[in-house]
Amino acid sequence: MRQIASIVDNHGHMDGDAESTVYPPSSTGSSTAGSPTERSAHHNQQLPHLEFHILGAGACAYSVTGQNGELAINCAEEGEPHTACGVVCEDSMPEKKNYHSYLSGPLCNVFKCTGAPGKVLRVHAAARMDPEVGSDIVETMKSILEAAFPRTVLGLGGVVLVKKGKVMIHVMHDFTVKPIRSQKFIDSEWLRMKEADTPFTNYTVFVTNPPAELDLRPSHTHGFNDKVAGHYHYDTTPLRVEYECYLQLADSIYRVDRVPQSPDFEMDVSSRESNTTSKPWTPEP
């Protein structure tokens, strides 16, 4: 049975009224222009409502968790969400929590399908012989596909199970009261890095040769084990690692609220609402 599947890239919006751009464009209109202010016939399109199953990576809804965090998204139209949430707790250690909500925070990248049985792409990889190459399985698969199909846009999503070894993840601290003004602060203080044990289950979304006019995030992968959840970076045990991946191709890509992917550290945020408090253990910029 053929799945109907889409990649959804949502950055900067937290409700259902956001504008969206669809790729590939329909035959009745042209593709969306590069500027967020230039609209086309493909804006304001609603995602088709089908029976759905959604996998992917995103941010927690502040109204649900009371702090910022990472989401490993797994939910369907029927039944309870099986979504995991990663937050930084009082001892500055990441922790996994169950997340019984369909709400997301200001960003998410998800793979939406009907949840019906169908053909999938299975990838099994183990024991990296070169410790300097291939530590990020998602980027490795993306690079292989781009080399094989250099002029084709492919959107894939699914499950990446790390069966053996260890992986490096990060969990975001709470939002800061003062604006963050450097990438160095993000990398060295705001992101809490941790080596996680396996088995570690990831939900991933990635796009090869992403269309420049959509300004997509090329890949996003979040996962969890029984103790922690967070953003997957790479494995740290090349000779012991083992991956098993189940992926499917998407028919279309939806870009919601097309804001720039790169942060603007010089942006004037004086007129914007922000957190008045953060968790006490949140580092200050």
> What value does the CA radius of gyration of the chain take, rounded to a whole number of Å?
19
Rounded percentage of the chain residues whose pLDDT exceeds 70: 85
Q: Are 96 and 84 in contact (CB under 8 A)?
A: yes
CB neighbour class for 8 (10 Å; exposed up to 12, middle 13-18, buried from 19): buried
Question: So what's the pLDDT on residue 273?
Answer: 75
Sign of the C-alpha dihedral computed for residues 125, 130, 135 and 139 taken in this order: negative
pLDDT band, very low/low/confident/very high, at 33 (cuts 50, 70, 90): very low
pLDDT band, very low/low/confident/very high, at 16 (cuts 50, 70, 90): very low
Q: In the structure encoding, which two tokens stand for residue 134, read together?
A: 């291939």
pLDDT, tens only, 240-257: 999 999 999 999 999 887
Rounded percentage of the chain residues whose pLDDT exceeds 90: 63
Q: Mean pLDDT score of the chain, rounded to an integer?
A: 86
The rounded distance, in Å, linking the Cα atoms of 115 and 118 is 9
pTM score of the predicted model: 0.86
Question: So what's the pLDDT on residue 1?
Answer: 31
Cis bond upstream, residue 283 (ω within 30)? no
Q: Are 26 and 43 in contact (CB under 8 A)?
A: no
Helix segments in 97-188, DSSP class H: 137-148, 183-185
pLDDT, tens only, 124-181: 999 999 988 999 999 999 999 999 999 999 999 999 999 999 999 999 999 999 999 9
Mean pLDDT of 47-64: 86
Mean pLDDT of 38-61: 71
Q: Is residue 122 over pLDDT 80?
A: yes
Write down the residue that tokens 């049985």 correspond to.
117
Question: So what's the pLDDT on residue 272?
Answer: 79
Distances in Å between the Cα of 222 and the Cα atoms of 50, 58, 101, 109, 164 are: 25, 8, 17, 10, 17
Least confident stretch, 103-117, 184-198, 271-285: 271-285
The rounded distance, in Å, linking the Cα atoms of 78 and 102 is 12
